[in-house]
């Protein structure tokens, strides 16, 4: 069974972060291991605070795992400080970890900043070039590129810009693109693949970005291609959103 490491924040309510990652990794028949980068204080309504882990604590967690077992896949999520960005960059550059799937978590859905402003340039310049895939949503892609994304053409422009920042491949998640009846994701790794799914209104499903990136990491750990991994991950996330939507409809 492939072993997948998630390096991400802890959401005590279980709606996002390492708890969702572990559940997703299990669903793809991989063995999950985890290193926590921050403890957040949040629930489904809001984020109330963040307590970052030191670089030493992050390193000690990862090194303890690697001391006794190899890792076949890596997902990196919330990195709240420049120290955490640089420590994960160091860990990923040592050659003991496969290229990570990097979900560049910048802020919560409610608007709470989950990374220091000074850490973002380091994330881009130091960690993006080490990643197998970077998976920003629309708001994150706009923040990273300075572009306004309103349609598929501007999604393409943003994907090209992020690859120019050093990313080997980028998947821009279009679920937050307004005015579309479909959730359109664009994968750019030098070639382009478009993934379409029906847009599900009022699903109120948290942690979809965590699900997607950890599912891709699990599929890559199984030896699937990047395109196959994204397709399988998209199917999983769509099914999870549908489950939440049906539960919400039945509760009304």
Q: What is the mean pLDDT of residues 169-185?
A: 79
87 vs 6, 90, 92, CA distance in Å?
A: 15, 5, 9
- Euclidean distance between the first and the last CA atom of the chain, given in angstroms as a whole number: 41
pLDDT of residue 174: 79
Of 2-6, 148-152, 165-169, 209-213, the least confident: 148-152
pLDDT, tens digit, 9 for 90 and up, residues 151-175: 899 999 999 999 999 999 999 997 6
Q: Over the stretch 29-79, which tens digit does the pLDDT of each residue have?
A: 999 999 999 999 988 888 899 999 999 999 999 999 999 999 999 999 999
Q: How many helices (H) and strands (E) does the chain have?
A: 8, 9
Structure tokens at 127: 């960690």
Confidence of residue 180 (pLDDT cuts 50, 70, 90): low
Average pLDDT value for the chain: 91
Percent of the chain at pLDDT > 70 equals 92
Alpha helices of 108-207 — where are they, by DSSP H?
119-122, 138-145, 152-164
Answer yes or no: are the C-beta atoms of 206 and 109 closer than 8 Å.
Answer: yes
Set out the domains of the chain in order of their start, with CATH numbers. Answer: 3-251 (3.40.1190.20)
Average pLDDT over every residue of 182-188: 88
pLDDT-based confidence at residue 107 (cuts at 50, 70, 90): confident
pLDDT of residue 212: 96
Residue 98 per-residue DSSP state? P
Band of residue 111 on the pLDDT scale cut at 50, 70, 90: confident
């Amino acid at each position: 069974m492939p072993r997948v490491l998630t390096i991400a924040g802890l959401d005590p309510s279980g709606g996002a972060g390492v708890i969702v990652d572990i559940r997703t990794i299990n669903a793809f028949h991989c063995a999950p291991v985890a290193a926590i980068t921050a403890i957040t204080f949040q629930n489904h309504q809001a984020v109330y605070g963040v307590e970052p882990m030191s670089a030493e604590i992050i390193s000690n967690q990862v090194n303890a795992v690697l001391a006794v077992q190899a890792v076949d896949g890596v997902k990196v999520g919330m990195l709240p400080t420049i120290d955490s960005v640089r420590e994960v960059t160091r860990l990923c550059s040592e050659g003991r970890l496969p290229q990570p799937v990097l979900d560049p978590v910048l802020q919560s859905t409610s608007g709470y900043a989950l990374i220091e402003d000074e850490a973002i340039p380091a994330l881009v310049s130091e960690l993006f070039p080490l990643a197998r895939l970077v998976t920003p949503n629309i708001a994150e892609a706009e923040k990273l590129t300075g572009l306004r994304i309103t349609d598929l053409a501007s999604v393409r422009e943003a994907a090209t810009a992020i690859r120019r920042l050093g990313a080997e491949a980028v998947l821009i998640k279009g679920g937050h693109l307004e005015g579309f009846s479909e959730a359109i994701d664009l994968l750019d790794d030098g070639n382009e693949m478009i993934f379409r799914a029906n847009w599900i209104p009022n699903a109120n499903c948290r942690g979809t970005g965590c699900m997607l990136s950890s599912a891709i990491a699990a599929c890559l750990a199984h030896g699937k291609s990047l395109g196959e991994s994204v397709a399988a991950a998209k199917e999983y996330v769509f099914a999870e959103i549908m489950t939440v939507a049906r539960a919400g409809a039945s509760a009304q």
